[in-house]
Structure 1
Amino acid sequence: MTESSVLERHRTLCDIIERHNRDYYVLDAPTVSDAEYDALFRELRALEEKHPKLAHPGSPTQRVGAAPREGVVKAEHRRPMLSLDNAYSENDLREFHRRAMDRTPEGRSLTYVLEPKIDGASIEVIYRDGLLTQAITRGDGKIGEDVTESVRTIRTLPLRLPDTREFSLRGEIFIHGKDLDEINESRIEAGEEPFANPRNAASGSLRLLDSQLVAKRPLRVFFYDLVEPYFETHSEILAALKDLGLPTHGREERASTIEEIVRYIEHFDRERHGLPYETDGVVIKVDSLELRETLGYTARFPRWATAYKFAAEQAKTRVEAIRCDVGRTGTLTPVADLTPVSLSGTTVARASLHNIDYVESKDVRVGDMVWIQKAGEIIPQVLGVDPTARPPGASPWMPPTHCPVCQSAVARVEGEAALRCTNPLCPGRLRAALFHFTRRSAMDIDHVGRSLIEQLVASDLVKDLADLYGLRERREALLALDRMADKSADNVLGAIDASRTGRPFERFLTGLGIPLVGTVAARLIADQYADLPTL
């Protein structure tokens, strides 16, 4: 083949494969068999192996993932990714509309665009010269993490656009509920902590340093906004996104009255339960971009948009057991083990019972049928009991007199509803403290999940928080743990080492788990005292 014919064949193969990707992953309407698709892909890969310069970032072969990143890279958003104010009732919507009209120039009316609120991980994706060049997580709204190589692996996302203008797109990365169940089954089999919900699965997948692992996760994306001022209305933006071949939810409508907004919300609330992905509300935005600038922003939210949140979804299931988890301060939290039930796109098998008084006031017993609700919490909560379905002989639950982990006596602090383990060296307290210390809002240490923490404590490799930072000297002992090979150990030790620097002092204070010192108090302390010696 001549050089020109090689280039032409490569371009043709890229176009054909990207079209088939869109048919399969976006439209769910494949037009070729798997064998035909694989043959095209093999031909493209062989062509690029013979002519390496053809393997540009826009080639479908580049989705499989690049080499693992060395660490987290921060990136700044071109325009802040702000949160939205919430509405929970028709009165809230009317108040939002009234405030917007008060700032609207006389003689002008407001038209809104109504869209589903996808419950996923917010993302900004940037295309330059027709190629996907960068992807940034929401982060704090101003600065996020660069997850470009991870986002490249998403099958529903085109690597190239037919338009060479710069596009900074806003969207939501999510995962289907059935896919999450399959992922969690695999994680449980591997001894890993299952994801609590689709949003956590999407967010956690994006933050993996190895994009080849991300490529194995069935992530999807919908786009809903554009930073560049190429258009006059939001409706035009959504239409342009579709014309560019970008995945969108395709369920937007325009409305001019509260009555029209309410009708859309009621209709979508009925329809959303049949969708394969999780939604938790409807976003209402002023359509005119000019009027958005007139309405402006508060310190936290745009005045031209609000998010109507649906009431929390509920389900009914049976209590199979009641046990207590031990927290980092020794608090015993009752948890109900449940007959697995589908709720808000995930399979739920346990729910929080909050504290001893809550169990007694609701009179929750083993064998009871209970209503559970998931209202944004990681662990669903028990709302109440169906007394008509109580089995004969079901006895009231008796609070434990000894810690379920270390068997030390428990005590009830006067004026509190909690029982506490009295042993300061309780392994359960240490496990909870380590999990709190390594979590994202604290020291943000990847690869150190619940399963590993349980092994570290059980093997006496870690007896306090400081021992985490001595694990490199005990690498051989670390390698002796279950499912711990050289690469896994390197990932764990690298993540721990990375947390030694680059973490704000407030995150360290949060991670210590000092009673009454949460993220807000830690920030206030860190504002006054720059570091631990100063404090």
Structure 2
Amino acid sequence: MNLLTEEARVADQRSLFGEMAAEETGSVKGTQPVEAAAKTADARAQAAARAAELRHLLDYHAYRYYALDAPEISDAAFDKLLIELQQIEAAHPELVTPDSYTQRVGGYVSEQFTPVTHMARMYSMDDAMNLEELDEWLARTEDALGAGRVAYTCELKIDGLGVAITYQNGAFVRAATRGDGTTGEDVSLNVRTIKDVPMHLSEAALAHMGADRSAPIEVRGEVYMPKGSFARLNAEADAEGREPFANPRNAAAGSLRQKDPKVTASRHLATFIYAIADTAPLHVDSQHAFLDWLRRAGFSVNGSVARCTSPAEVHAFCADALAHRGDLDYDIDGVVVKVDSFDQQGDLGFTARAPRWAIAFKFPPEEKTTVLRDIRIQVGRTGVLTPVAEFDPVTVAGSTIARATLHNLDEIRRKDVRPGDTIIVHKAGDVIPEVVGPVLDKRPEGTAEWDMPATCPACGSPVVHEDGEVAYRCVSLDCPAQLKERLLHWVSRGCMDVDGVGDELIDKMIEAGLLHDVADFYHLTVDAVAALDTGRTYLKDDKKKGVSAGDSIKVGATIAQKVVDELTRSREQPLSRVLFALGIRHVGKSVAEVIAQRFLTVDALAAASEEDIAGCEGIGPKIAASVRQFLAVPENLEVLQRLREAGLSLEEDLGAAHAQAAQETGVAADLAEAQPLAGLTFVLTGTLVNRTRDEAGAALKLLGAKVSGSVSKKTSYLVAGPKAGSKLTKAESLGVPVLDEAALEQILATGQIPAA
């Protein structure tokens, strides 16, 4: 069937609200228990989809912050996403993955520098965004260690770039960025140019180490750019017509990652050192004593530090630091409060990503007033329409701002901001411009409320707004505002898996007019890709290549041929990969596999009703509505038709899919085909050693089993690893057989349940 037949068009036009009303009035068949089970399954599916989305968002924004030094959201907004993911994973432990941001330290390692493994992991820091959260942490700490028995070291939180510097026998060995917490980037040559970094430690400090003076030590701290250096750097940028740095933190990060150390030296960076990988060789027992050793060793240690013996003294230090932050020649964004005693720090330990014995109290941002001139729409990479405030330029926290996101219509209504208002603005986290709200007594008469447009300003397609959601979206594959991110998602490893096509190459293809949607990938030629300008030039003449200095460097035939070959290979990907690659909202890899296995062809899916789609196991009305909305856009159907004409099958070969899944999970293909665990329900809990719970669940499903997130009388077996909790208790109370990981591995290898 052609995707654009009248039958498909009629199916596309079914009323979402009519079907929902029918469901509510009981016209959908099924008993109440079945409906309850479906709702539970739907809730789990939604939780899994939201967790995957949050992990993607956290990774994206961490990359923007750590790797590009160009954050798009505030620290508070990032923390909100992280807290939401922690809550989902706490409610659904089976959704926890090893690569989840809750299980690791933020940060990225650039490929431009040699990787360096730190002597010990560099952790992130939990944040207290207000005094209430700080007091909660102080109370937990006092409860754990004993009220009145805890002293705290309070230090200013420097807004710079984390660095680790290693010394051997008192001599500088190397320096590295924090990176991902385990591995950083070797920036030794650049750090050598920072004047306050000692190349040799003082004899007094080495003598204090005694017999351990030859032991390697790795100190940690912050590289920052003084405000005076920042002002000079941006003045030079203005004079030369270059883009100025947004703030000193970004300037410091960019300066430390220069390939030429002379450039770093010219930026006049400085450091404050405050931590070490291992305190044992120093023979000190507290943070305060350790800071004294750092000073004796020759390091730059911030002078604004205090040892506080009560929460009241901690409050006083924070208040004083906030009052005098503007007097400093460097940026701070808070106060770090640490338990002073190293023994007590050891008693408290760490979470997966941060020490329990320290917290960063974040300062509120500086505020200014200005006039809101307009609210314009920005179409994001996922099709979300984001209103953006445009106002008279104003200087806040060291830089001039004239725009700020208003996030969504609900936020605009909540803040009641309107074009023409005098508004209060600040920088959230001293980085991200934000509109606080209007000054109502300065509002001009007759100022009207602002409303979202009915059509996408980038492509003219109707805007979609789902009940219960704040976002307004454009779901057209033809929307130019979403093009790059859709293209990147299409070629990514989990989707069509096109090796060699990345961010830079896609930018060049778009600029050259080669790509307008994902179907255009399959019309690329070797000659067209080879002729693309990389944006770089030859530095000297090369007679063999027939080029001169200054000539532009092209992509070339070798890379172009590889790209075309990879795209050709991707035509063989199954329907499930295509559905995931299309970027349909709420449709992740697992959901795409369920849909593909149920409908087998894109034609059948295009003709299916929303109720048909919602009938798939684990797929509820929200996912079904999203799929139907996507398929209701004629431009999307046209792209699918062009993909078919380009040679993609748009069909699901269950045999091939099972074979691929068997290879990925290590399950024998013949066992997968036999489905020996059909009719059995497994629940996984605790920590598994050989594979994650997600991997174990996927392998069990491949053998025909159902994997549930909760224990009930219908549970056939509970697989329990170490640290199993309430699920194990419930299974034992219900008489559900409990298996260990060894038994699980035997089941996956043989398809048979081991004898008790």
Question: What is the TM-score normalised by the length of structure 1?
Answer: 0.67
User: Per-residue deviation at 1:252?
Assistant: 0.5
User: Per-residue deviation at 1:187?
Assistant: 6.9
- Taking the aligned partners of 2:123 and 2:581, their CA distance within structure 1 comes to 26
The aligned counterpart of 1:222 is 272
Aligned partner of residue 533 in structure 2, secondary structure? helix
Counterparts of 1:223-242 in structure 2 under 5 Å? 223-227=273-277, 228-229=279-280, 230=282, 231-242=284-295
The aligned counterpart of 1:81 is 122
**Are 1:264 and 2:317 counterparts?**
yes
The aligned counterpart of 2:532 is 477
Contact 1:126 1:135 in 2 (8 A): yes
Q: Which amino acid aligns with 1:485?
A: T
**Are 1:334 and 2:375 counterparts?**
no
The aligned counterpart of 1:414 is 466
The aligned counterpart of 2:199 is 159
Range moving further from structure 2, 341-350 or 109-118: 341-350
In the superposition, relative to structure 1, how do residues 105 and 339 fare at CA in structure 2: closer, same or farther (>3 Å)?
A: closer
Contact 2:383 2:475 in 1 (8 A): yes
Contact 2:512 2:532 in 1 (8 A): no
Which structure's CA Rg is the greater one? Answer: 2
The aligned counterpart of 2:332 is 279
User: Per-residue deviation at 1:413?
Assistant: 2.2
Aligned partner of residue 84 in structure 1, secondary structure? coil
User: Per-residue deviation at 1:338?
Assistant: 2.5
In the superposition, relative to structure 1, how do residues 129 and 511 fare at CA in structure 2: closer, same or farther (>3 Å)?
A: farther
- Taking the aligned partners of 2:196 and 2:527, their CA distance within structure 1 comes to 40
Aligned partner of residue 317 in structure 2, secondary structure? helix
- Taking the aligned partners of 2:145 and 2:365, their CA distance within structure 1 comes to 33
The aligned counterpart of 2:218 is 168
User: Per-residue deviation at 1:173?
Assistant: 1.8
The aligned counterpart of 1:10 is none
In the superposition, relative to structure 1, how do residues 436 and 314 fare at CA in structure 2: closer, same or farther (>3 Å)?
A: farther
Contact 2:406 2:412 in 1 (8 A): yes
Range moving further from structure 2, 248-257 or 340-349: 340-349
Contact 2:333 2:429 in 1 (8 A): no
Q: Which amino acid aligns with 2:220?
A: R
User: Per-residue deviation at 1:206?
Assistant: 3.6
- Taking the aligned partners of 1:391 and 1:125, their CA distance within structure 2 comes to 57
In the superposition, relative to structure 1, how do residues 88 and 474 fare at CA in structure 2: closer, same or farther (>3 Å)?
A: closer
In the superposition, relative to structure 1, how do residues 70 and 309 fare at CA in structure 2: closer, same or farther (>3 Å)?
A: closer
2:348 aligns with one of 278, 282, 295: 295
- Taking the aligned partners of 1:438 and 1:200, their CA distance within structure 2 comes to 30
- Taking the aligned partners of 2:484 and 2:327, their CA distance within structure 1 comes to 39
1:111 aligns with one of 151, 155, 161: 151
User: Per-residue deviation at 1:194?
Assistant: 6.2
* 1:364-388 CA-partner distances (Å, limit 9, x unpaired): 3333221223334964222211122
In the superposition, relative to structure 1, how do residues 396 and 111 fare at CA in structure 2: closer, same or farther (>3 Å)?
A: closer
- Number of residue pairs aligned between Structure 1 and Structure 2: 439
2:404 aligns with one of 333, 351, 354: 351
**Are 1:364 and 2:417 counterparts?**
yes
Contact 2:375 2:389 in 1 (8 A): yes
User: Per-residue deviation at 1:123?
Assistant: 1.4
- Taking the aligned partners of 1:218 and 1:437, their CA distance within structure 2 comes to 43
Aligned partner of residue 173 in structure 1, secondary structure? strand
- Taking the aligned partners of 1:181 and 1:511, their CA distance within structure 2 comes to 45
Question: What is the TM-score normalised by the length of structure 2?
Answer: 0.49
- Taking the aligned partners of 1:205 and 1:512, their CA distance within structure 2 comes to 39
In the superposition, relative to structure 1, how do residues 150 and 94 fare at CA in structure 2: closer, same or farther (>3 Å)?
A: same
Range moving further from structure 2, 320-329 or 195-204: 195-204
In the superposition, relative to structure 1, how do residues 458 and 223 fare at CA in structure 2: closer, same or farther (>3 Å)?
A: same
1:120 aligns with one of 160, 171, 177: 160
User: Per-residue deviation at 1:353?
Assistant: 0.8
Range moving further from structure 2, 484-493 or 337-346: 484-493
User: Per-residue deviation at 1:492?
Assistant: 10
- Taking the aligned partners of 1:193 and 1:210, their CA distance within structure 2 comes to 20
Q: Which amino acid aligns with 1:167?
A: I
Give the gaps of 5 or more residues in structure 2.
Answer: 1-109, 207-212, 540-549, 564-579, 592-691, 700-756
In the superposition, relative to structure 1, how do residues 294 and 414 fare at CA in structure 2: closer, same or farther (>3 Å)?
A: closer
Aligned partner of residue 232 in structure 1, secondary structure? coil
Q: Which amino acid aligns with 2:533?
A: L
2:175 aligns with one of 122, 128, 135: 135
Contact 1:70 1:209 in 2 (8 A): no
Aligned partner of residue 157 in structure 1, secondary structure? coil
2:478 aligns with one of 420, 425, 445: 425
User: Per-residue deviation at 1:249?
Assistant: 1.7
User: Per-residue deviation at 1:272?
Assistant: 0.8
- Taking the aligned partners of 1:105 and 1:72, their CA distance within structure 2 comes to 46
Counterparts of 1:87-102 in structure 2 under 5 Å? 87-90=128-131, 92-102=133-143
- Taking the aligned partners of 2:696 and 2:516, their CA distance within structure 1 comes to 31
Range moving further from structure 2, 219-228 or 394-403: 394-403
> Which structure's residues are more often helix, by fraction?
2
Contact 2:372 2:390 in 1 (8 A): yes
Aligned partner of residue 324 in structure 2, secondary structure? helix
In the superposition, relative to structure 1, how do residues 254 and 453 fare at CA in structure 2: closer, same or farther (>3 Å)?
A: farther
1:323 aligns with one of 371, 376, 384: 376
* 1:349-405 CA-partner distances (Å, limit 9, x unpaired): 211111234334434333322122333496422221112223466554454454443
**Are 1:384 and 2:437 counterparts?**
yes
1:71 aligns with one of 106, 112, 119: 112
User: Per-residue deviation at 1:235?
Assistant: 1.8
Contact 1:327 1:433 in 2 (8 A): no
Range moving further from structure 2, 154-163 or 314-323: 154-163
Instruction: Calculate percent identity across the aligned residue pairs.
Output: 36
Aligned partner of residue 246 in structure 1, secondary structure? coil
Contact 2:425 2:433 in 1 (8 A): yes
Contact 2:397 2:430 in 1 (8 A): no
In the superposition, relative to structure 1, how do residues 417 and 306 fare at CA in structure 2: closer, same or farther (>3 Å)?
A: closer
- Taking the aligned partners of 1:421 and 1:112, their CA distance within structure 2 comes to 51
Contact 1:448 1:492 in 2 (8 A): no
- Taking the aligned partners of 2:485 and 2:153, their CA distance within structure 1 comes to 45
